[in-house]
Structure 1
């Protein structure tokens, strides 16, 4: 019954009877129970012709709980608090205090979430928090095996500390996996198509979904292609396809640029380095094409939007000619918001599970994807005020652009 209401639409009880296949008496009883538990709300009166009881619509109570998604990056930390239907209430973006210890960073993240909920949640209880981490996370979400950008989160200490401080159910996962979850839930990927996401931020991450499900390896090393060496070279794939490492590599070649995107801004001046980047991306797409035969390879994060459509089409053609697998290579629909939306979607899934809604039923809900993405883009941003964080200073940034647009260059490197 709850699953039938999760689209957020006002529904007539007669329609609920038709949609669920339950008897009239059962539907009316369940609706009364849901309203008694503040999970459903009475709506407007339905006008019917002829005899019989007049009916009112019913809707899911979006104020029954709040959920939170956190996208913790090596450069920036994004947070969104949303209602029980996934509609954003408040968001923030802060500079990650990279110099903080694991305990200090955990306290900083927990403090951000708690502050947003207490100041903007209007008294609605927080149910679940999901945190995307820039590192290798074990399949059970209990330990970080490695993190190229935030070494202090390695192990179990950070996860245990932040979970304890938040005081609510807290899920942790790899940021690339959660970004792909966001693309599947709110982007335009075909529901059952095999897809691969390549996240080129401060580091290089990847994720794969088969039949709509994101694959999770036991050790978390599934898809860590950035560790692979380039053919015949000492450099690894991440040295040319992640923001921080590409800048460092370019400087070793005598090319001094402040950001990876600066290389793409002047393709003629930096043609030799960019040719290496294009070759590295083609090699990576070749690897994932052979590993998974994806219909789509989605690029997100960092400087991914610097690759033009013509260039990505050429890479698709090159890979198809080399190994016989045709994968459409394109940029993300959701841009930097994919990870944040994926974290939020995971929190929503845990909320619905606690209400007895199966994952299969939740997946069948007709979610208004455009509305969710638009609400994230248009929802208020936490005030732009400096906030001191342990081990460093985290500055809150105003983030008033739509999910598919680019932010400043420093954010692009995160």
Structure 2
């Protein structure tokens, strides 16, 4: 019982310190309701473990012992977040309090199989980490497909079929020398936006990414929803188009290019579909796009009644003038509409979210309770 109480005090104090750093012992006692003597003993142990350090004294006009500010030893553990896309890969490293140490965007090797791709990612992570490499402790990787609940099996990844049902995650873990877990890239993009971007402070939200594929992440009460096989939020698989066409084929870049070709028009970029002076066949294609996207937005809204839907990905950049119109369409059909906003993290949303997920693994290892993670890193 004594041991359990000490563990509870430790995880409570550490969570509040991570959330409100830098902070004094007295402030921690006030926040947690734990006695000042117990907080001091807990902090002394955290300092002995190399997790916390004293950073400065607060000058006080009152007599007596001066208050000392405490902080987390941020470089003690470094994590990496990886967003592995068919065209580009983004990698970030972050310290224990969520500070980004470095980030890079690289073209993904197009013809690499699972083993070669894992070796390439591991080399680039080591290169980016540089002197932080010995402190790397965990990694998360965002993948353009459905990822199983154990974070290791990948399915439904048409843009990177070489990863499907492969041992890519296990191979990458071996190459890096520490645990790696995977998740759908849209899930991690939403996690990034909730901690650092457009959905910050919004516990129930949806992230929809429209680019080479259509992805969606769903969060309810601050927790990303993940099914056993990772198909939660796969709205692009809905056979809601003509003759059962999947919605993904009607809104993504490759899908729009293919549909334009079927209409006898060659386009160099999907953005041409959204031009104000587009020819009539492309205007008709745009109308089909709007209808398909409305179905996606409706499905997202009725799935969890989000306060906010964040749009990201290359195709969404062409929709700058349309968010109010889509909100009005949703309101007309449902009587209510979430706010529609664009990603503020842009192309790095997935990598930043992957770093957050990796940090959550580190916090768990330090004893932080699962219920505290929704607001960490602060």
CA distance in 1 between partners of 2:222 and 2:188 (Å): 13
SS across alignment from 1:163: helix
CA distance in 2 between partners of 1:259 and 1:10 (Å): 49
Q: CA deviation at 1:153?
A: 0.5
Q: CA deviation at 1:320?
A: 2.4
Q: CA deviation at 1:201?
A: 1.8
CA distance in 1 between partners of 2:226 and 2:301 (Å): 18
From 320, 327, 332, give the equivalent of 2:343: 332
SS across alignment from 1:329: strand
Q: CA deviation at 1:230?
A: 3.4
From 237, 255, 261, give the equivalent of 1:251: 261
From 145, 167, 171, give the equivalent of 2:181: 171
From 135, 139, 161, give the equivalent of 2:145: 135
Change (3 A) 1:55 1:136: same
CA distance in 1 between partners of 2:200 and 2:354 (Å): 20
CA distance in 2 between partners of 1:188 and 1:90 (Å): 21
Partner of 2:304: 292
CA distance in 1 between partners of 2:194 and 2:276 (Å): 34
Aligned residues: 364
Q: Is the 8 A contact 2:193 2:200 kept in 1?
A: no
SS across alignment from 1:6: helix
Greater helix share, 1 or 2?
A: 2
SS across alignment from 2:310: strand
SS across alignment from 1:130: strand
Change (3 A) 1:32 1:295: closer
CA distance in 2 between partners of 1:104 and 1:35 (Å): 42
CA distance in 2 between partners of 1:304 and 1:64 (Å): 38
Partner of 1:350: 361
Partner of 2:8: none
Say whether 1:36 aligns with 2:48. Answer: yes
Of 296-305 and 168-177, deviating more is 296-305
Say whether 1:302 aligns with 2:301. Answer: no
Change (3 A) 1:52 1:133: same
Of 68-77 and 187-196, deviating more is 187-196
Cα deviation 1:252-282 (Å, max 9, x = unaligned): 2222222222433454333222222112111
Partner of 1:400: none
Partner of 1:275: 287
CA distance in 2 between partners of 1:366 and 1:294 (Å): 22
CA distance in 2 between partners of 1:267 and 1:128 (Å): 49
Change (3 A) 1:227 1:51: closer
Partner of 1:145: 155
CA distance in 2 between partners of 1:229 and 1:364 (Å): 37
SS across alignment from 2:150: coil
Stretches of structure 1 that go unaligned for 5 or more consecutive residues are 368-414
CA distance in 2 between partners of 1:59 and 1:316 (Å): 44
Q: CA deviation at 1:100?
A: 0.6
CA distance in 1 between partners of 2:236 and 2:343 (Å): 19
Say whether 1:24 aligns with 2:53. Answer: no
CA distance in 2 between partners of 1:216 and 1:45 (Å): 45
Q: CA deviation at 1:23?
A: 2.3
SS across alignment from 1:11: coil
CA RMSD of aligned residues (A): 2.1
Of 12-21 and 144-153, deviating more is 12-21
Correspondence list, 1:13-412, <5 A: 13-117=25-129, 119-121=130-132, 125-189=135-199, 191=201, 193-233=203-243, 235-265=245-275, 267-269=277-279, 270-309=282-321, 311-364=322-375, 367=378
TM-score, normalising length: structure 2 = 0.89
